[in-house]
């Protein structure tokens, strides 16, 4: 009897742990997105120019490394807000550039709405269906390498078609990452660090929004 009680208690304990990680992840994600919106608004109001690509990469990957190093301590929260605040700040000049277009406001709002609906829809699929999307792990690793190389080639050679393909690729990549990370929380008992889960989802949402904004701009001839 005691053995059966232990066997029943174990799934219940895992379920409670999963629900806790999900609550903490989505709570922190909401706060970081709002903080990013504040820093993006500050950059827009100050008229900050678009950041040099190398400075951006150093800042983004440096802060992301800091998040991973401090994820198991209270300092991880500070690093998380530093990273997402920086990403939001770099978004300000991009938004100003789009808003300067004739239909810029519509492009930004459409991209924002599509990003929100896509994230909610994909999260619902992973949470409600309970399907294991761990098979996407290999795709994400290979996709990241291909997209980075294609992005560098597009920046060097300035090929419009390649940049269009990169943007479409990032939409698929970000969507897969949302499914994969949510599935990892649901199905992997070891996935208990909500800070790392938050960062993964945040980067996916950021890439999804930027890529959709780029695609909508290209499709509208802007």
Cβ atoms of 169 and 143 closer than 8 Å? yes
pLDDT at residue number 5: 45
Cβ atoms of 43 and 91 closer than 8 Å? yes
Cβ atoms of 96 and 47 closer than 8 Å? yes
For 65, the token pair is 């490394």
pTM of the entire structure?
0.84
pLDDT at residue number 8: 39
Q: What is the mean pLDDT of each run of 10 residues along the chain (222 residues)?
A: 44 63 89 95 90 86 93 90 95 92 89 93 87 80 78 69 79 88 72 83 92 84 58
pLDDT at residue number 150: 75
CA distance 87 to 104: 21
């Amino acid at each position: 009897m005691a053995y059966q009680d232990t066997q029943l208690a174990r799934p219940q304990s895992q379920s409670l742990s999963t629900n806790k990680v999900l609550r903490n992840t989505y709570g922190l994600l909401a706060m970081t997105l709002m903080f990013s919106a504040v820093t993006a608004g500050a950059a827009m109001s100050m008229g900050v120019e678009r950041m040099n690509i190398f400075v951006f990469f150093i800042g983004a990957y440096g802060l992301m490394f800091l998040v991973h190093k401090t994820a198991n301590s209270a300092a991880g929260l500070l690093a998380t807000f530093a990273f997402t605040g920086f990403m939001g700040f770099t978004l300000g000049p991009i938004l100003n550039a789009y808003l300067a277009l004739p239909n810029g406001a519509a492009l930004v709002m459409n991209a924002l709405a599509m990003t929100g609906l896509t994230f909610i829809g994909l999260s619902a699929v992973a949470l409600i269906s309970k399907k294991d999307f761990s098979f996407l792990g290999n795709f994400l690793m290979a996709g990241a390498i291909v997209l980075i190389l294609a992005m560098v080639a597009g920046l060097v050679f300035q090929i419009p078609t390649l940049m269009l393909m990169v943007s479409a690729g990032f939409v698929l990549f970000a969507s897969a990452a949302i499914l994969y990370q949510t599935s990892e929380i649901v199905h992997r008992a070891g996935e208990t660090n909500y800070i790392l889960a938050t960062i993964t989802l945040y980067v996916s949402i950021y890439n999804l929004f930027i890529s959709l904004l780029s695609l909508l701009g290209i499709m509208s001839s802007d």
